[in-house]
């Protein structure tokens, strides 16, 4: 499956050497106040290619002092940026969006080398990135004054929206460019400044590449600052700093709880998009072809490494055997291998060793408890084959926990109430899907699922920059995208005007 890669003179893979996207100073730098700050005496962090399981470069391990400086710079730059005309702010974001297209192939290579992502994954992420930037451009001019009726005679109530100030962003490794950009682009368009800490595993495509885009697009110095580093070293400094008004975090629920707690201590608003345990419900009245098509895409795209991927297939007993058999056939047909030079590969390696070990552990525990492997099951060198499991209970580890891997546990049910109860039997509430040819009935089931998002006759792996995105329960706080992100990234001020003399009671 994994293949050897061409190496440079130093023995390391040479995949990043010819990227036009890289800054002139190279990737081994922080981006603060419009400057590419070299590593200096900081530690270095390896940029690891998950296919080769080897370093392809390094980035600096930022320090708490770097975080302090980045926030100070962002705080100083924000007031002037907020005074820039909305159309000029939108133009900078638009220029950066055009550069995403200019560097399309560079990004595709970065996704393969740094994320283990297939060409399909790259195209999906690039489309979402450009989409969220286009929506952000439209938000730049969303500051119209609203007038509301007053209960006091002769008074006018005026409501103004203003940028919230400085926004801290901590982004994940699975869709790093998009999940960074969906916070960074609207924040900048709305007149805020940003300090971005990308995941340690994807510091390039999730952080420094964004800095390059906005640097080249002409963003003023200090409005975007990128500090790479270990979450264990600087994560709390970013989330618990006294400067930001908002902390945007995407990642695991466990870490999200910690981020939200330290942010709240500083009275920073936590905007948290966390884990999921998403159910794909296939009713007795489902179109089985459509349900299986959705099941394959929702379980195995980017190795199942999405918070909105299918974690459990909950299938009516009348379809169960056929569904398992056909899903297993489809899983076995998926091209698995090295995504770095083969655009036909659909399933690459798991992104990092810790996640690989977690997936394998959940799989092995579940098999020991009676789950039966119908397809796949093999795992080695950070690769996990697309795996279909039957004879699964809802409380087995692979179903109870967010496995975040290319595993499809299939669970039978007898009636609609049981399916809904099983789907809701989790602390998470992010996404889900329901297949039923009676759309009204499907909508009724969807409304009874305790999730922020549900997709009828589709699968849970959906995002759209024009629609509210977010979960309930342990899946997060707040909503991303379009006008909903404005609630997070702007503040509303009430100013009243007493046009006529007011009579007071004393």
Q: How far is CA 257 from CA 262, 294, 461, 488, in A?
A: 9, 31, 24, 18
Six-digit token string for 110 = 């970065």
Closest among 344, 322, 324 to 334, alpha carbons compared: 344
* pTM (two decimals): 0.95
Q: Average pLDDT of each block of 10 consecutive residues along the chain (506 residues)?
A: 40 66 91 96 96 95 98 98 98 98 96 97 98 97 93 96 97 98 98 98 98 98 98 97 98 97 97 98 98 98 98 98 98 97 96 98 98 97 98 98 98 97 98 98 98 98 97 97 96 96 94
Let me know if 307 is a catalytic residue: yes
Q: Do 45 and 228 touch, CB atoms closer than 8 A?
A: yes
pLDDT of residue 501: 95
Distance CA 362, CA 339 (A): 25
Six-digit token string for 186 = 């609207």
Q: Do 383 and 360 touch, CB atoms closer than 8 A?
A: no
49 DSSP β-pair partners: 54
Number of residues assigned to the chain: 506
Catalytic residue among 114, 125, 137, 273: 273
E strand spans, 317-403: 372-375, 379-380, 383-384, 387-390
Distance CA 25, CA 43 (A): 18
Closest among 431, 418, 192, 394 to 312, alpha carbons compared: 394
Six-digit token string for 406 = 């290319």
Catalytic residue among 114, 307, 385, 401: 307
153 Rama sector, left if φ>0, alpha if ψ -120 to 50, beta otherwise: beta
Asked: is 278-456 a CATH 3.90.650.10 domain? The reply is: no
Distance CA 262, CA 379 (A): 38
Let me know if 436 is a catalytic residue: no
What are the sequence ranges of the domains in the chain? 29-274+475-491, 278-456
- Domain 29-274+475-491 classification at class level: alpha beta
Closest among 320, 381, 393 to 352, alpha carbons compared: 381
Radius of gyration, alpha carbons of the chain: 24
How many of the other CB atoms lie within 10 Å of CB of 6? 9
Q: Do 89 and 184 touch, CB atoms closer than 8 A?
A: no
Six-digit token string for 53 = 């399981």
Six-digit token string for 32 = 């603060």
pLDDT of residue 8: 42
pLDDT of residue 12: 40
Six-digit token string for 178 = 């998009």
Q: How far is CA 400 from CA 226, 312, 423, 456, in A?
A: 36, 9, 10, 23
Return the SS3 of 411: strand
């Amino acid at each position: 499956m994994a293949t050897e890669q061409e190496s440079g003179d130093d023995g390391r893979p040479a995949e990043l050497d010819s990227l036009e996207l890289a800054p002139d100073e190279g990737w081994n730098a922080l981006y603060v106040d419009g400057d590419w700050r070299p590593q200096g005496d900081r530690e270095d962090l390896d940029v690891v290619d998950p296919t080769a399981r080897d370093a392809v470069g390094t980035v600096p391990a930022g320090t708490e002092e770097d975080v302090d400086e980045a926030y100070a710079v962002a705080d100083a730059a924000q007031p002037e940026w907020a005074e820039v005309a909305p159309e000029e702010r939108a133009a900078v974001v638009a220029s950066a969006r055009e550069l995403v297209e200019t560097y399309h192939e560079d990004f595709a290579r970065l996704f393969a080398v740094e994320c283990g992502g297939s060409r399909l994954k790259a195209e999906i992420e690039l489309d979402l990135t450009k989409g969220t930037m286009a929506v952000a451009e439209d938000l730049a001019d969303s500051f119209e004054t609203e007038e509301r009726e007053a209960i006091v005679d002769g008074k006018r109530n005026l409501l103004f929206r203003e940028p919230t100030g400085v926004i801290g962003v901590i982004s994940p490794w699975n869709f790093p460019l998009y999940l960074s950009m969906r916070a960074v682009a609207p924040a900048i368009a709305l007149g805020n400044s940003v300090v971005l800490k990308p995941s340690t595993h994807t510091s390039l495509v999730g952080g420094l590449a964004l800095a390059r885009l906005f640097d080249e697009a002409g963003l003023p110095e200090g409005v975007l600052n990128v500090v790479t580093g270990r979450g264990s070293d600087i994560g709390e400094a970013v989330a618990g700093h006294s400067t930001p008004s908002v902390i945007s975090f995407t990642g695991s629920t466990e870490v999200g709880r910690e981020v939200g707690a330290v942010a709240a201590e500083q009275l920073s608003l936590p905007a948290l998009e966390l884990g999921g345990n998403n159910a794909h419900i296939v009713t007795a009245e489902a179109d089985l072809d459509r349900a299986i098509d959705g099941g394959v895409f929702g379980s195995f795209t980017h190795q199942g490494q999405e918070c909105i991927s299918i974690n459990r297939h909950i299938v009516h007993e009348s379809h169960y055997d056929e569904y398992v058999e056909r899903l297993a056939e489809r899983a076995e047909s998926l091209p698995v291998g090295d995504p770095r030079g083969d655009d036909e590969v659909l399933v690459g390696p798991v992104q990092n060793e810790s996640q690989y070990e977690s997936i394998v552990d959940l799989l092995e525990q579940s098999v020991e408890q009676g789950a039966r492997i119908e397809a796949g099951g093999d795992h080695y060198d950070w690769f996990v084959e697309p795996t279909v499991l039957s004879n699964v209970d809802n409380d087995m580890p692979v179903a109870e926990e967010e496995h975040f891997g290319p595993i499809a546990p299939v669970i039978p049910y007898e009636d609609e109430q049981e399916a809904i109860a099983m789907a809701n039997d989790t602390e998470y509430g992010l996404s889900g899907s329901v297949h039923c040819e009676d759309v009204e009935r499907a909508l009724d089931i969807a409304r009874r699922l305790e999730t922020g998002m549900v997709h009828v006759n589709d699968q849970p792996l959906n995002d759209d920059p024009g629609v509210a995105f977010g979960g309930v329960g342990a899946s997060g706080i707040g909503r991303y995208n379009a006008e909903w992100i404005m609630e997070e990234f702007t503040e509303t001020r009430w100013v009243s005007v007493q046009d006529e003399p007011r009579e007071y009671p004393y």
